[in-house]
Each structure stands twice: as C-alpha cells, then as structure tokens.
Amino acid sequence: MSKIRSAKTGFEKKIFRELKKRGLYFKTHYGGIIGKPDIALPKPRKAVFLHSDFWHGWHLVQWKKVLPNKFWKDKLSKNRDRDKLVIRKLRKIGWRVLVVWEHQIDRDFNGAIARITRFLKA
C-alpha cells in the first residue's frame, strides 16, 4: 500500500494539465481548509474533489459482497463517511463544492473538464 498515492495521481495530473491549458489558475491539494481539496480557489471559496472510484467507495454497496475482508469494508465505509462530513463542513462555512468521480472522467473526459471549468469560472 505504500505505493498508493493520495496526491498527484495519473488522472489528477491529466485534469490539472487540461485545466491549465484552458487558462485556469488554481491551487492543488489546498491545505488551508478541511479535506485538502484537489483543486481550490480560496478567494471565491470553491473546492473540487476528484474522487477515485475505489478509494472513495463509489459502488461500495455492490463491492461489499466481493471485498476480501472486514478491513476493506470498514476502510471504504469510513472514507465515504469522512467525504460526506468534509463536504458538509465546507458548505457550512461558505464554500461551494464540486465532486467529480473517476468514472465520470473516464466516460466523458471533455464533459468532465467542461463541468469543472464552468464551476470554477461561475
């Protein structure tokens, strides 16, 4: 597990590169607030989280049947609970939050980039 990255993953780098090509400036893995959003604009208070399907438990209900042991079920459940708490806290203190899932990026990369771009520019 030491080889697993929490930041600068392949799909994050691809998104950051594309957003920068479109002239957007942003902070990555911004530590100034709870949750360290993958993309942040501190002044207008906007945060984008890029969730990987596995680590953030996109299909956890279906995966629980095939996960090898209780450790993984608990780990992914805690990750999901933490994500919900972080988003709720950020919204409560006035941040606008967008979550983009890995499968959305894989399915329609240009659409996901357009969605993030609209969110950041609005």
Percent pLDDT > 70 in the chain is: 82
pLDDT digits (tens, 9 = 90+) for 53-76: 876 767 666 666 666 777 877 887
Q: Please state the domain extents for the chain.
A: 10-121
User: CA-CA distances (angstroms) from residue 106 to 10, 41, 54, 86, 100?
Assistant: 12, 24, 14, 25, 11
Tokens for 90?
A: 């950020």
Q: What is the DSSP letter of 54?
A: T
User: Cα–Cα distance between 86 and 105 in angstroms, integer?
Assistant: 22
User: Cα–Cα distance between 61 and 117 in angstroms, integer?
Assistant: 31
In this prediction the pTM is 0.86
**Do the beta carbons of residue 79 and residue 57 sit within 8 Å?**
yes
Number of H helices, E strands in the chain: 5, 4
Number of Cβ within 10 Å of residue 3's Cβ equals: 4
Tokens for 12?
A: 């994050």
Matching CATH number, 10-121, of 3.30.460.80, 3.40.960.10, 3.40.1260.10, 3.40.50.720: 3.40.960.10
Residues of the chain with pLDDT under 50: 1-5
Question: What is the reported pLDDT for 8?
Answer: 67
End-to-end CA distance of the chain: 38
Tokens for 78?
A: 């805690």
Question: What is the reported pLDDT for 85?
Answer: 96
User: Cα–Cα distance between 70 and 63 in angstroms, integer?
Assistant: 12
